[in-house]
Amino acid sequence: MADELDELISQAIDAIQSAPDVRRLHDIKVYYLGKKGQFTLRLKTLAKRTADEQRVYGKKLNAVKADLARHIHQRKEQLDALLVQQRIADETIDVTLPVMDDPLAYGGSHPVIHLLGEMESLFASIGFDSIFSPEIESDYYNFAALNMPPHHPARAMHDSFYLDPTTVLRTHTSPAQVRAMETQPLPLRILSTGRVYRRDSDLTHTPMFHQVEGLWIDQQIAFCDLKGLLTEFVHILLKDRQLKTRFRPSYFPFTEPSAEMDIACPQCAQKKCRLCGYSGWIEVLGCGMVNPNVLQISGIDSHTYTGFAFGLGVERLAMLRYGVSDLRQFFDNDLRFLAQCRS
Ligand code: DAH
């Protein structure tokens, strides 16, 4: 009987110490110490034993019961403490987690699209309507109506992708000017943004890029309106009110006079660096007064109306705005890069 009792005691202690939770611990207590528990039953059967046995085992059984109750109490305290620790761990927010690893992180617009939206709302605030113009364009809208008849040498600069002899992936957003002049009532102010395509691919050119086209036609529009508006625009977009700008004479078949607008190189503050080709200036857009031929082709009386137009490459401006040195990063789809250019 002594061996059997020792065996039962060590079994009970093992069970108590490995009880995984408070409920299981309670079951173990009932099994060993409850009214019909293993040790209680043995106490009850003592009556059938000799007086000596009753004395020895009775004393031992009572001591065992007290000992087990103490083990149970200790295990309960351990389990309660574990429960509290578990709850604290569950409720703690780990503020050190990098946001970008969050599988539920919201996406955002691509930096180029973000900038396009910003330009659209900027121009909308001074009355420019955003209009759509197709990416697959006819020779007429892409070239001829912009004062570039067949064999005009300016066509060669565009290195186009032709779909058939008279259809092309637009090489610039300027066709939107013609479409606006054909359909919108005068005076008009429009902005058109989107993808354009050229057979160009190197460090600073991609075969597809984004442009923004603007056109303002009214009576008595002059070159000073163009200068004032575009200077203000660049100051706001690049967040630098003091940024120096200059207008340099240039040539575009659809404007006369034509100019290119440069900004003082933001990287070297005009001390001359690689970014600005050691000139201190960076070209940001092309512009000019709409060529009277272009107005006439679209049926607008060039004696009554004048206007100005401008076109710019968005990736170029995005590089300046976000301090990016390699144009191709915008198309590499690396979220670590893209997520940094959002404001
Ligand atoms: N379309 C020209 C280009 O892609 C940019 C341009 C220059 C647009 C002068 C204009 C402009 O509207 O007036 O190179």
Q: How remote is the CA of residue 172 from the centroid of ligand 1, in Å? A: 7
pLDDT tens readout for residues 89-146: 888 877 776 666 666 667 788 999 999 999 999 999 999 999 999 999 999 999 999 9
User: Range with the lowest mean pLDDT among 50-59, 192-201, 232-241, 298-307?
Assistant: 50-59
Pocket test for ligand 1, best of 172, 179, 213 (most atoms within 8 A of CB): 172
Q: What is the pLDDT of residue 13?
A: 92
pLDDT, position 4:
82
Q: Average model confidence (pLDDT) for the chain?
A: 91
Q: How far is CA 74 from CA 37, 39, 40, 63, 275, in A?
A: 20, 20, 21, 17, 73
pLDDT at position 40: 86
- The CATH H-level superfamily of 111-342 is Bira Bifunctional Protein; Domain 2 (3.30.930.10)
Of the pLDDT bands very low, low, confident and very high (cuts 50, 70, 90), residue 16 is very high
Pocket of ligand 1 (CB under 6 A): 172, 174, 213, 252, 255, 286-288, 309-311
So what's the pLDDT on residue 27? 93
Task: Give burial (CB, 10 Å; 0-12/13-18/19+) of 163.
Answer: exposed
Grouping H, G, I as helix, E, B as strand and the rest as coil, residue 201 is: coil
Token representation of residue 227: 């200068």
Q: What is the mean pLDDT of residues 146-156?
A: 86
Asked if 306 contacts 270 with a C-beta cutoff of 8 angstroms, the reply is no
> pLDDT band at 285, cuts 50/70/90?
very high
Question: How big is the chain, counted in residues?
Answer: 343
pLDDT band at 325 (very low <50, low <70, confident <90, very high): confident
Every domain of the chain and the residues it spans: 2-91, 111-342
Q: What is the mean pLDDT of residues 5-26?
A: 91
Q: Where are the beta strands (DSSP E) in 44-96?
A: none
Tell which one of 193, 252, 285, 294 to mutate to probe ligand 1, the residue whose CB is within 8 A of the most ligand atoms. Answer: 252
pLDDT band at 197 (very low <50, low <70, confident <90, very high): very high
Burial 267-302 (b: 16+ CB within 10 A, else e): eeeeeeeeebeeebbbbbbbbbbbbbebbebbebee
pTM for the structure as a whole: 0.70
Name the closest-CA residue to atom 8, ligand 1: 311
Question: What pLDDT is stored for residue 113 in this prediction?
Answer: 93
C-alpha of residue 286 to centroid of ligand 1, in Å: 5
Residue 25 has pLDDT above 90, yes or no: yes
**Per-residue tokens: 163:** 């779909």
Mean pLDDT of 297-302: 96
CA of 192 to the centre of ligand 1 (A): 12
Cα distance between residue 251 and residue 259, in whole Å:
7
Per-residue model confidence (pLDDT) at position 56: 84
The shares of helix, strand and coil residues in the chain, as percent rounded to the nearest 5, are 45, 20, 35
Q: What is the pLDDT of residues 199-246, one digit of tens each?
A: 888 777 889 999 999 999 999 999 999 999 999 999 999 999 999 999
Which amino acid residue places its CA nearest to atom 3 of ligand 1? 172
Percentage of the chain with pLDDT > 70? 96
> What ranges make up the beta strands (E) of 198-339?
208-218, 245-252, 255-264, 281-290, 306-313
Check residues 240 and 157 and name the one with the higher pLDDT. 240
Report the separation in Å between the CA atom of 195 and the middle of ligand 1, taken as the mean of its atom positions: 14
Mean per-residue pLDDT, 286-311? 98
Q: How close is the Cα of 66 to the center of ligand 1, in Å? A: 96
